Structure 1
């Protein structure tokens, strides 16, 4: 694929995902270049590498001659043209979010579940939560024992998290850090975090620490699948850089979710924005098949102990 411009810059993680899908990309920069130079580079690139698709990824006004050339390619070389927004949804399964906050038209397509969809979600919630409880109860007992051995104290804890419509609820989790983990205030977990004990690290990688949230699902605070429930403190921090971050609270959070299986643990606001792109995609394109994909990917993560 030939990508015109760098309005959105692909992350290393996204490049790896595209490579796994056998999608090769060549970027032709548009900024600070004469249109003749850009057109020449496009022609040279298409001669060297046969592209089936051209991705429009530029903020700049495209020159008339370039538009004519690109339009004719659809007929002469059977090359399709797609915007970066459509490209990301089709190939990366996430929603594009602009950096400059000038074009927020995409937000109109992000809506809460309607009544029929919500009923389907609650049926999935009960089936998923009860099935998980029946399968995992020996693991829950073992996890509780291991926590007591490696970090004496309460094995589970309740922490306020933000749910649907920005309402806080008490989220139940297995404790994976030592009791004084936040004596200096809230902070993100980092790689090789000294606050996390050995079994706690295993639980985080396999998502075992999230399993007690079954109770939150049955109570109605959460869905079985949805955006990760976050703390109000971090949401307030994220909103300073991502003012539309609260869009993810149109629906209830989940034990597992599309962002959680598609992106590694986050450590900053940029990671939060990347995860938000997946959350918005999940809300926008929700269906039963997407639910199945999340469950399957979650199982692979648990069995493989992978962070994504």
Structure 2
């Protein structure tokens, strides 16, 4: 019952309230930045693609040949701040309100990862992806990819209001502690390359 009806109701209620709270900041950000949103295709429920929104944290700086500079050379000072505090993820509240995502669930992955999953790992797509999830509160970038997928499937198999509430509360605690996102083996620069 929770999985089918009340989870979506909770998503809309909480995401709506949070979005109204941050709306003035969103408006200011949009007004004073040229291209405030970064939009990227991600994989959602049952492998369907959707456009995921984030605040832009990198410039479009290119080298003399016209190629984009490495990520670390394009992150702005403000971009570094919004990444460190996870503010860059707030536009995903729009994805939650649209029904593409949930507040809690496995983090949405890029489409090309679909071909790298084994049957067990594909189960992570049996629920909507989330803004936060079990692997985010269990170690985030420090987790090996395979451990992250284990947590994702554990979440799918044990989804409940109690588990969602626990993950949300733990997420808020971590945010208010402003724990640094550590560069680990699951950092953006170390991609999942399949099961070896």
- TM-score scaled by structure 2? 0.77
Contact 1:228 1:254 in 2 (8 A): yes
Displacement after TM superposition at 1:157 (Å): 2.4
Moved over 6 A (4+): none
Equivalence for 1:177: 58
Aligned to 1:201: 80
SS, match of residue 260 in structure 1: helix
1:265 and 1:197 map into 2 onto residues whose CA distance is 21
Q: Which structure exhibits the higher relative contact order, with contacts defined as CA atoms closer than 8 Å and separated by 6 or more residues? A: 2
Task: Give distance in 2, aligned partners of 1:278 and 1:251.
Answer: 13
1:257 and 2:133 aligned: yes
Provide, for residues 6-52 of structure 1, a one-character-per-residue CA deviation record: whole Å limited to 9, x for no partner.
xxxxxxxxxxxxxxxxxxxxxxxxxxxxxxxxxxxxxxxxxxxxxxx
Q: What's the CA shift for 1:180?
A: 5.1
Q: Which residue does 2:155 correspond to in 1?
A: 282
Q: Aligned ranges for residues 20-169 of structure 1 at < 5 Å? A: 116-141=2-27, 143-144=29-30, 148=33, 153-169=34-50
- 1:52-93 per-residue CA deviation (whole Å, 9 max, x = no partner) reads xxxxxxxxxxxxxxxxxxxxxxxxxxxxxxxxxxxxxxxxxx
Q: Tell me if structure 1 keeps the 8 A contact 2:121–2:153.
A: no
Matches within 5 A, 1:295-306: 295-306=168-179
Pair 1:194–1:286, CA change in 2 (3 A): same
Q: TM-score, structure 1 length as denominator?
A: 0.51
Are the counterparts in 2 of residues 122 and 223 from structure 1 also a CA contact under 8 Å?
yes
Structure 1's unaligned 5+ residue stretches are 1-114
The secondary structure found in structure 1 opposite 2:141 is coil
CA distance in 2, matches of 1:296, 1:144: 29
Task: After TM superposition, give the deviation of residue 271 of structure 1 in Å.
Answer: 2.5
Corresponding residue SS for 1:244: helix
Match of 1:85 in 2: none
- 2:101 is aligned to 222
Cα distance between partner residues in 2 of 1:143 and 1:302 = 21
SS state at 1:194 partner: helix
Match of 2:192?
Answer: none
Structure 1 residues 271 and 243, CA, compared in 2 at 3 Å: closer, same or farther? farther
Instruction: Give ranges in structure 2 of 5+ residues lacking alignment.
Output: 183-196
**Deviation by residue 1:190-224 (Cα, 9 ceiling, x = unmatched):** xxx33322221222222211111111111111112
Q: Which has the larger radius of gyration?
A: 1
CA RMSD after TM alignment: 2.7
